[in-house]
Amino acid sequence: MSEAAATLSEARRPAPPPAANDALMVLRGVTKTYGGRGGEVVALSSIDLDVRRGEFLTIIGPSGCGKSTLLQIAAGLVPATSGSITLEGRPVTAPPRGIVYLFQQYNKSLFPWRSVRSNVAFALAGKGLDRHQRAKRAQSFLALVGLEAFGNHYPWQLSGGMQQRVAIARALAAEPAALLMDEPFSAVDALTRVEMQALLLDIWRQRAGLTIILVTHDVEEAVYLSDRIAVMGRRPATVERVLETGLPRPRDPVATREDPVFLRHRGELLDDLLGRGLVRR
């Protein structure tokens, strides 16, 4: 998919910016501690965070601060030691309906013995569709990520970036209210990373109401993609602040990165992290 096509598709999203009081997910006082021979370690300390319906929220912070742990707690994959998480007002104590978690090692989540189309169709099980209907819908999601010609291939026959697209197509096939992504672009080259960012924005803008929570260590990626950025500190980690990017949409891979607002946010965030000693020079 070309950058121009991605930009045009992004512009079609009819939903207005999410309202500040329209929370899909609410985290209050979330704390995570680990015990061991060396004593108790506090990984996360009393984290409060609201995730607005339909927004693109990114979580950044230093390596090892607990970003992925927080995302896993939000997804119901890891229990919090204390505090609460609610999704649409309901407590999250296990993986809830409406949330799909895309792991960092996306290639390991694909079934190597299943075709690409069958991998995507797996997410449609239990939806009352017969085999033909599942295959047809799976094909439509492959088309969404530009892989309609690769349905009969197997994951191991695809490049890393293409495997990543399959994982995204399967996640979208589940029709989640929220898509949680743990550093999904960290294992691909720089050009593929830019292409995948454009694809993700294209998909998000086409699917009005979809909420995305992204964990990344890349400040530029966070500013480029997000409506808001939650900045975590070092352990015991808290959310130090939440930044509204205010950048206009649609975003352009080149022009947005040259926008003075983008450059200001990038500088502030890097200075913020470096100033607290969170990132090694």
- At 225-245, the pLDDT tens digits run 999 999 998 878 899 999 999
The per-residue pLDDT of the chain, averaged, comes to: 85
The structural architecture, per CATH, of the domain 3-98+177-275 is: 3-Layer(aba) Sandwich (3.40)
Handedness of CA 56, 62, 68, 69 (dihedral sign): negative
Phi and psi at 207, nearest 5°, equal -105, 80
Q: What is the pLDDT of residue 175?
A: 87
pLDDT-derived band at 8 (thresholds 50, 70, 90) equals very low
User: For the chain, where do the domains classified as CATH 3.40.50.300 start and end?
Assistant: 3-98+177-275
pLDDT at position 279 is: 44
Binned at pLDDT 50, 70 and 90, residue 273 comes out as confident
pLDDT tops 60 at residue 255: yes
**Residue 20: band (very low, low, confident or very high) from pLDDT cuts 50, 70, 90:** low
CA 62 centroid distance within chain: 17
Q: Which of 2-16, 37-51, 79-93 has the highest mean pLDDT?
A: 79-93
Centroid of chain to Cα 184: 7
Looking at mean pLDDT, say which of 7-11, 176-180, 192-196, 268-272 comes out highest: 176-180
* Cα distance between residue 31 and residue 117, in whole Å: 40
Which residues lie below 8 Å from residue 212, measured CB to CB, with a gap of 6+? 55, 56, 57, 178, 179, 180, 181, 200, 204
Whether 91 contacts 27, CB under 8 Å: no
DSSP element (H, E) containing 85: strand 82-87
Which two three-digit tokens encode residue 82? 């204390």
Residue with tokens 């070309």: 2
pLDDT grade for 14, boundaries at 50, 70 and 90: very low
User: Phi/psi zone of residue 116: left (φ > 0), alpha (ψ -120 to 50 degrees), beta?
Assistant: alpha
Return the number of other C-beta atoms located less than 10 Å from residue 239's C-beta: 20
- Lowest pLDDT segment from 5-19, 63-77, 144-158, 186-200: 5-19
pLDDT above 70 covers a percentage of the chain that reads 89
Contact 214, 70 (CB under 8 A): no
pLDDT of 5? 41
pLDDT at 47 over 80: yes
Bridge partners, residue 26, by sequence: 50, 86
pTM: 0.86
Tokens (6 digits) for 108: 């390991």
How high is the pLDDT of residue 164? 86
For residue 83, what pLDDT is reported? 94
pLDDT of residue 21: 60
Outline where the chain has alpha helix (H).
3-11, 67-74, 106-109, 116-121, 131-144, 160-173, 190-206, 219-225, 255-258, 260-275
pLDDT > 90: what percent of the chain?
52
